[in-house]
């Protein structure tokens, strides 16, 4: 079991490495956070609501414009791969470029939308988001690239536009049909808040994440604890696309009996009235998850805003059960982590978070109980699954931003 501490890069050391790699330019330092979704899972691609927050783990970049038509990228997380060079204009996906496809996809999408960079670019990345954990390292590097390009080349795009373009890079360049949640949270996060986002309209508002004890009689100060199952979410993109297809099939079936744009516009009553039109039990279960989860998310935010954190926690548990039984994206390791958390004293709520098939759970835990939580859940998880969990006690964070002019 390990507890990852929040580590900031040493900007001076990073700047020295930047100069060594790229020469004597004056780079600026940028940061984009990862995200954790508190509730509203697998609703973004069905036009529903999500409730993520940006976290204090993320990716930093030192970036500078350079003359010429070449982009040079290096990541301290993949140092052995050295500097990746690519053409500034018309860059195509190339598997040989590995991780660098994420930033390059953003540069390409910016160009396709008439925001071509006016010259080349050098970037040195460093991140402390565990890879494959479902905390949106890919969205963070995309949004970070978009934010840095926007700033260095004066593109004049706002945070929502940067999120939408980053999602397009993931969909079209990388080929993963994700929704908007991850890029939106990384771009638009606000410290001490989570974002209630309507993914159909891109309307959003911030809800204070009152973890300081709140107003309820049972309330004590709480922390967000992310537990990594350390099962990489490798099936995630194939299974993800399959889940989306089943939801589309359900939507098409419903559309034969009533006009409908997306599943999450239906209330529970409306869904119950049309659900018999869905032709397969599998599509019915997938659609039922989308509709119930959307409703749960709205109820959960209401509960949080009225100061009832424990009601929020109960809805987190219901969300996990729906993801397990109806959407079927949990795996035994995620179920074990959630069940062990529910049995611990001082746990307000716990559920799997992100796409599923590996990755993490998110738990709201009373501060005084965090140490015992990490010990007990860690030990029991190891006994039950033979795996070691990792724990990240995280703060919330602002969205992607320039950190300094010069490190
Ligand atoms: C992944 C996707 C998101 C969202 C979640 C599930 O993180 O990138 O768009 O669909 O899964 O809620």
Residue among 38, 39, 42 whose CB has most ligand 1 atoms within 8 A, to mutate: 42
- Residues marked as catalytic: 182
Phi, psi of 284 (to 5 degrees): -60, -45
Alpha-carbon gap, residue 36 to 33, rounded angstroms: 10
How much is the pLDDT for 2?
40
Per domain, the residue ranges of the chain are: 2-206+397-404, 210-394
Return the closest-CA partner of residue 331 out of 239, 201, 217.
239
Q: Does residue 58 have its Cβ closer than 6 Å to ligand 1?
A: no
Alpha-carbon gap, residue 320 to 329, rounded angstroms: 10
Cα(269) to centroid(ligand 1), Å: 26
3-state helix, strand, coil in the chain (%, to 5): 45, 25, 30
How much is the pLDDT for 211?
84
**Burial (CB count within 10 angstroms: exposed 0-12, middle 13-18, buried 19+), residue 281:** exposed
- Residues 180/167, Cβ–Cβ less than 8 Å: yes
Return the closest-CA partner of residue 323 out of 43, 34, 36, 35.
43
Cα(45) to centroid(ligand 1), Å: 8
Q: Which residues contact 35 (CB under 8 A, 6 or more apart)?
A: 52, 53, 54, 55, 135, 136, 139, 140, 181, 182, 185, 186, 189
Return the closest-CA partner of residue 93 out of 170, 208, 198, 207.
170
Q: Does residue 42 have its Cβ closer than 6 Å to ligand 1?
A: yes
- Residues 117/107, Cβ–Cβ less than 8 Å: yes
- Residues 42/291, Cβ–Cβ less than 8 Å: no
Q: Does residue 179 have its Cβ closer than 6 Å to ligand 1?
A: yes
Alpha-carbon gap, residue 54 to 71, rounded angstroms: 28
- Residues 45/60, Cβ–Cβ less than 8 Å: no
**Burial (CB count within 10 angstroms: exposed 0-12, middle 13-18, buried 19+), residue 8:** exposed
pLDDT digits (tens), the chain, 407 positions:
344 444 566 777 889 999 999 997 789 999 999 999 999 999 999 999 999 999 999 999 999 999 999 999 999 999 999 999 999 999 999 999 999 999 999 999 999 999 999 999 999 999 999 888 899 999 999 999 999 999 999 999 999 999 999 999 999 999 988 999 999 999 999 999 999 999 999 999 999 997 876 555 556 899 999 999 999 877 667 888 899 999 999 999 999 999 999 999 999 999 999 999 999 999 999 999 999 999 999 999 999 999 999 999 999 999 999 999 999 999 999 999 999 999 999 999 999 999 999 999 999 999 999 999 999 999 999 999 999 999 999 999 999 999 976 55
Domain 2-206+397-404's class? alpha beta
The residue whose CA has the least distance to atom 2 of ligand 1 is: 178
Return the closest-CA partner of residue 383 out of 375, 395, 371, 392.
375
Q: Decide: pTM greater than 0.75.
A: yes
Residue among 179, 243, 297, 334 whose CB has most ligand 1 atoms within 8 A, to mutate: 179
Query: In Å, how far from its chain's centre is CA 386?
Result: 27
How much is the pLDDT for 7?
55
How much is the pLDDT for 195?
98
CATH code 3.30.70.890 for 210-394: yes
Atom from ligand 1 closest to the CA of residue 180? 9
């Amino acid at each position: 079991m390990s507890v990852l501490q929040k580590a900031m890069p040493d900007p001076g050391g990073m700047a020295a490495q930047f100069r060594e790699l790229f020469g004597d330019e004056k780079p600026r330092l940028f940061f984009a956070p990862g995200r954790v979704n508190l509730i509203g899972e697998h609703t973004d691609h069905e036009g529903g609501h999500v409730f993520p927050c940006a976290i204090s783990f993320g990716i930093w970049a030192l970036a500078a414009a350079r003359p010429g038509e070449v982009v040079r990228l290096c990541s301290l997380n993949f140092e052995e791969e050295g500097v990746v060079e690519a053409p500034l204009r018309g860059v195509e996906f190339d598997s040989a470029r590995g991780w660098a496809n994420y930033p390059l996809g953003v540069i390409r999408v910016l160009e396709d939308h008439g925001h071509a960079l006016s010259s080349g670019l050098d970037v040195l990345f460093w991140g402390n988001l565990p890879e494959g954990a479902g905390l949106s390292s890919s969205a963070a590097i995309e949004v970070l690239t978009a934010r840095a390009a926007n700033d260095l080349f004066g593109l004049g795009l706002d945070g929502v536009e940067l999120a939408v373009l980053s999602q397009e890079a993931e969909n079209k360049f990388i080929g993963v049909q994700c929704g908007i949640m991850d890029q939106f949270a990384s771009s638009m996060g606000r410290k001490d808040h989570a974002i209630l986002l309507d993914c159909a309209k891109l309307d959003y508002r911030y809800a204070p994440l009152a973890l300081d004890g709140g107003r309820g009689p049972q309330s004590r100060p709480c922390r967000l604890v992310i537990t990594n199952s350390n099962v990489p979410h490798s099936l995630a993109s194939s299974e993800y696309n399959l889940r989306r297809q089943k939801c589309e099939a359900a939507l098409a079936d419903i559309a034969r009996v009533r006009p409908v744009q997306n599943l999450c516009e239906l209330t529970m009553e409306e869904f119950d009235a049309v659900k018999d039109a869905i032709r397969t039990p599998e599509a019915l279960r997938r659609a039922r998850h989308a509709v119930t989860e959307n409703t749960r998310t709205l109820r959960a935010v209401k509960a949080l805003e009225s100061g009832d954190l424990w009601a929020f926690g109960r809805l987190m548990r219901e969300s996990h059960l729906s993801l397990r039984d109806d959407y079927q994206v949990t795996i035994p390791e995620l179920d074990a982590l959630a069940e062990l958390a529910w049995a611990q004293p001082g746990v307000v709520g716990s559920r799997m978070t992100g796409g599923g098939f590996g990755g993490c759970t998110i738990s709201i835990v009373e501060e005084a109980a965090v140490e015992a939580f990490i010990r007990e859940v860690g030990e029991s998880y190891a006994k039950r699954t033979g795996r070691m969990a990792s724990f990240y006690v995280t703060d919330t964070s602002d969205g992607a931003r320039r950190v300094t002019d010069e490190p």
